[in-house]
């Protein structure tokens, strides 16, 4: 999915339409995942969130799922709603970049390297994931 795919349609409305389709098709995994996303949207004070707010909610749900139960089917459904240019990068991409661009010897503590790494990736990586990677290096 690309961010232009949304056009003028709000993701919230698209999710509602997809929920109906999933229910008619009997796709329980997609139905349940969309219900969770819509439930999180309904908890917002702003009842008409823009697409970026909805994407942030979905990203948070994916992050929480990876830290907890790691339900791959749920994560797959959620990732379908995030445009390619806004998806978080995987560990292998982060590790490769760190190995090529970060010299830990210039820091008193490895964790001081978090700042340049996070600045480079600008919201495309989870800080906890980067922290775990640095600790393992």
- As a whole number of Å, the end-to-end CA separation of the chain is 34
Contacts of 131 (CB under 8 A, 6+ apart): 111, 114
C-alpha span between 23 and 136 (Å, rounded):
44
Write the CA distances from 49 to 42, 46, 122, 135, integer angstroms: 10, 6, 22, 37
Q: What does the pLDDT read at residue 26?
A: 94
| pLDDT value of residue 89 | 65
C-alpha 10/C-alpha 8 separation (Å) is 6
Q: How far apart are CA 92 and CA 98, in angstroms?
A: 10
pTM: 0.63
* Residue pointed to by tokens 């990677």: 133
Domain boundaries, the chain: 3-86, 91-136
Q: What pLDDT sits at residue 3? A: 45
Gyration radius (Cα) of the chain, Å: 18
Give the pLDDT confidence score for residue 87 in this predicted structure.
66
- Local confidence pLDDT in tens for the 137 residues of the chain: 444 455 556 888 899 999 999 999 999 999 999 999 999 988 888 777 788 888 888 888 988 887 778 788 998 898 888 877 666 667 778 888 888 888 888 888 888 888 888 888 776 777 888 888 888 87
């Amino acid at each position: 999915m690309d961010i232009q795919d949304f056009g003028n349609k709000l993701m919230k409305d698209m999710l509602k339409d997809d929920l109906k389709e999933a229910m008619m098709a009997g796709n329980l995994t997609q139905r349940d995942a969309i219900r969770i996303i819509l439930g999180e949207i309904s908890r917002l004070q702003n009842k008409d969130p823009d697409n970026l707010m909805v994407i942030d909610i979905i990203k948070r749900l994916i992050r929480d799922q990876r830290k907890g139960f790691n339900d791959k089917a749920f994560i797959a459904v959620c990732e379908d709603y995030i445009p390619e240019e806004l998806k978080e990068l995987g560990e292998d991409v982060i590790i490769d970049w760190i190995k090529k661009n970060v010299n830990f010897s210039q820091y008193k503590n490895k964790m001081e390297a978090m700042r340049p790494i996070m600045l480079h990736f600008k919201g495309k990586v989870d800080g906890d994931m980067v922290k775990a990677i640095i600790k393992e290096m």
